[in-house]
Amino acid sequence: MNTVYIGVGSNLGDKLQNCCKAIELVDNIENCTVMKQSPFYRTEPVGVASQDWYVNGVIRVETGLSAQDLLRSLLSIETGMGRVRKQRWESRIIDLDILLYEHHVIDEKNLTIPHPLMHIRKFVLMPMVQLDPDLVHPILGRTMSELLDDLAEEGQGIMPIGRA
């Protein structure tokens, strides 16, 4: 089994419910079990203007699936929940991103692991630190706590909203 960290986010509709439903659907993927879930956070959109704030969290999953098979399953969940991809960083009913897959480094046409922006996003690092503060980024060689400590506060508002 492989340990995988998946980012979960939503900024359309009932954001918290969307995230909870997506986590339940991930747990229902064959050969995939959600082992632990971070608290949820209300987070400021990064890289775009005039969007509603997100609800974000991270889950730790154990899976026998390959990274590509897991990605296909996550994309299927997003589509099934009503996500339509039109442009980058648009508002979304659900977003499921593979952040880390064991300590593997993967650079393929449709999949980059570790997630290429995770180390500069507070809405990823804060929940990662809640799950596994001493987990080391496989490329940067720094822990999640160290990466979070290095982030600037400006433009990355984040507020805990509790567990589902």
> Where in the sequence numbering do the catalytic residues fall?
83, 92, 95, 97
CA distance 71 to 74: 5
Q: Please, which residues have CB within 8 angstroms of residue 147's CB and are 6 or more apart in sequence?
A: 119, 125, 137, 140
* C-alpha to C-alpha distances, 91 to 51, 78, 112, nearest whole angstrom: 7, 13, 22
The 3 state secondary structure assigned to 82-106 is CCCCCCCCCCCCCEEEEEEECCCCE
Q: For residues 70 and 34, what is the distance between their CA atoms, to the nearest angstrom?
A: 13
